[in-house]
Structure 1
Amino acid sequence: MLPWRRTLRAFTAALLMTLLVTGLLTLTPAVGTASAAPAASSRGWNDYDCKPSAAHPRPVVLVHGTFGNSIDNWLVLAPYLVRRGYCVYSLDYGQLPGVPFFNGLGPIDKSAEQLDGFVDKVLASTGAAEADLVGHSQGGMMPRYYLKFLGGAEKVNALVGLAPDNHGTTLLGLTKLLPYFPGIEDLLTTKTPSLADQVAGSPFLTKLNEGGDTVPGVRYTVIATKYDEVVTPYRTQFLNGPGVRNVTIQDLCPVDLSEHVAIGILDRVAHHEVTNALDPAHATPSTCFS
């Protein structure tokens, strides 16, 4: 690995750890889904008194990635959207018994059912007819199951994916070795089902992508980085179909070095592209200074 890449990854890891600690300090000692909403609400999101404006008539639901949660994944993007006048909400999903903080580990079809219930709650609270979804990594892919198989297309206007593993990942080819290590494969299936679901060619992804990547009536945006080291090759994140816009961050800012985690949590160019996707009628060019 080149020295600048090692420095970048070390800096990203340190900054993400700071964000994680900051997020955890906002939680009550009884950690869990119930405690997340008050903590987030104090920052202006998960405010169930919020009513969408004429300028931004749809609430935005943020969907964290694997090992993420409803707070730490969104410490930058959620306030960014709130300041721009959006009603913003985030959920926890895919929890495993006895595993605090780190979610998105359960079977992805079951996680999509949790998203279904959460969107219904948000729509009932805001009075809106539709929501917009913004997800990172698994959180950008999992909603597609909700849209395709659980009736979500009738309740969702747009899905924005930040580094989503829409067609799975090879993890730089390592997952191709899983069939040769039955013990490891069994561990993934029984302990962290979502990881097994995200392997390229898994039964879950085969079902999800069969018959086309998209469903009618929903606008799709994929925002990717060519430095993604988790969802590889990075172009497998892109979708095909009507109403799709695929974006590579480096086409907008060649010196942007964000990798998989940073593009979802920290990257200002990516966040500006999120607002463009949520409000395309008022989109402005994304640059290195967005």
Structure 2
Amino acid sequence: MGIRAVACAAVAAAVLGAAAAPETASATTPSATTPPPSAALPVPFGFASGIALEALNPGGSAPGTNNFSCVPSAAHPDPVVLVHGTAANRQTNWAVLAPVLANEGYCVFALTFGNRADLPWPLSAAGGLAPLPESAQQLSDFVDDVLEATGASTVDLVGHSQGTTVSGYYARFLGGDDKVSKIVSIAPLWNGSEVGPPKGVGGPDFDNASFVSELRDAGVYADSVEYANIVTRYDQVVVPYTSGILAASNASNIVVQDGCEQDRSDHIAVVASQRTAALTLEALDPSTTREIPCDRVLPIIG
């Protein structure tokens, strides 16, 4: 995921400058909360908005997330847990989808996993850098916290990039199939990627190649979970982009550009566009028909 990390660093440098800030909160503690919205939250479409959030509130939570007193509604009984990608965190990855989901009435939660909380900020802000089995266990613990706090019996997961693999592994091998109803995967790489060593996710310091192979060899999908894969033809990290397409009776596969050629979302921009937001909402609640927008989206910046 080197391309993503470099791109994030470039955007961060432009937005943050050389600002210093205090250390981040613990990756999974429920204490870092945001109050429930009293009115519709603004939605700043574009990936750079998440970098700005982290700059203004280091180690915080994206608007609309991590209110552990949230009571799920009858319309949306499953809380949504957001699972970020490599080098991202619970703010930088979810500045768009977090308020979108909260505005729809979901209880929304997000964790930062695989980061070095012992390092000073901004180094501590980069998540998804630990061995993936450790990250999957962090997700498992966080889901348990969410279920206990909300009283819900299951959650829905929305993952991006590495977060899709972590979510899939949790559901397949760590008992998540009993605690997860739906998994929406944005830019997944079920069949690995031709970009970067080793083939798949992560880098040479992480034992991630076997992690991906184990998931793929056992079968990516858990029978009791519903899956939706959202991919983009212009993904420069998941190569080929069709690695994220995997047919099954309990899975749907969506190519962002089908019916919208002007959307040039790449691996980064795809998680922060209006079209992806609408597709995600539709995947979480297929009973509600909604208009799927088609706008011009540029790589990285959206």
Distance in 2 separating the partners of 1:100 and 1:71: 13
Matched residue type, 2:133: D
* Other-structure match for 1:181: none
Q: Secondary structure at the match of 1:74?
A: coil
Taking every aligned residue pair, what percent have the same amino acid on both sides?
38
Q: TM-score, normalised by structure 2?
A: 0.77
Structure 1 residues 21 and 45, CA, compared in 2 at 3 Å: closer, same or farther? farther
* Other-structure match for 1:270: 276
Matched residue type, 1:284: R
List aligned pairs for 1:16-27, cutoff 5 A: 16-17=11-12, 21=16
Distance in 2 separating the partners of 1:20 and 1:189: 30
Distance in 1 separating the partners of 2:220 and 2:262: 31
Structure 1 residues 20 and 147, CA, compared in 2 at 3 Å: closer, same or farther? farther
List aligned pairs for 1:92-103, cutoff 5 A: 92-96=112-116, 98=119, 99-103=123-127
Task: State the shift of 1:223 in Å.
Answer: 0.4
List aligned pairs for 1:165-204, cutoff 5 A: 165-171=189-195, 175=197, 188-190=203-205, 193=206, 197=208, 202-204=209-211
* Other-structure match for 1:69: 89
Stretches of structure 1 that go unaligned for 5 or more consecutive residues are 1-8, 178-186
Structure 1 residues 261 and 150, CA, compared in 2 at 3 Å: closer, same or farther? same
User: For 1:210-245, what per-residue CA distance to the aligned partner results, in whole angstroms no more than 9, with x for missing partners?
Assistant: 132211110100101100000100000112322100
Alignment partner of 1:282 is 2:282: no
Structure 1 residues 260 and 217, CA, compared in 2 at 3 Å: closer, same or farther? same
Matched residue type, 2:246: L
Distance in 2 separating the partners of 1:176 and 1:144: 19
List aligned pairs for 1:1-290, cutoff 5 A: 16-17=11-12, 21=16, 29-33=22-26, 37=33, 43-96=63-116, 98=119, 99-171=123-195, 175=197, 188-190=203-205, 193=206, 197=208, 202-264=209-271, 266-288=272-294
Distance in 2 separating the partners of 1:249 and 1:122: 30
Structure 1 residues 285 and 75, CA, compared in 2 at 3 Å: closer, same or farther? same
Q: CA RMSD in A?
A: 3.0
Structure 1 residues 134 and 141, CA, compared in 2 at 3 Å: closer, same or farther? same
Bigger proportion of residues as helix? 1
Structure 1 residues 20 and 92, CA, compared in 2 at 3 Å: closer, same or farther? farther
Task: State the shift of 1:252 in Å.
Answer: 3.3
Distance in 1 separating the partners of 2:134 and 2:22: 27
User: For 1:125-170, what per-residue CA distance to the aligned partner results, in whole angstroms no more than 9, with x for missing partners?
Assistant: 1111100000110011211111111100000000001101222211
Structure 1 residues 20 and 104, CA, compared in 2 at 3 Å: closer, same or farther? farther
Q: How many residues align?
A: 258
Structure 1 residues 281 and 20, CA, compared in 2 at 3 Å: closer, same or farther? farther
Task: State the shift of 1:277 in Å.
Answer: 0.7
Q: Secondary structure at the match of 1:189?
A: coil
Distance in 1 separating the partners of 2:243 and 2:62: 37
Task: State the shift of 1:49 in Å.
Answer: 1.1
Distance in 2 separating the partners of 1:30 and 1:256: 37
Matched residue type, 1:233: P
Q: TM-score, normalised by structure 1?
A: 0.80
Task: State the shift of 1:28 in Å.
Answer: 6.5
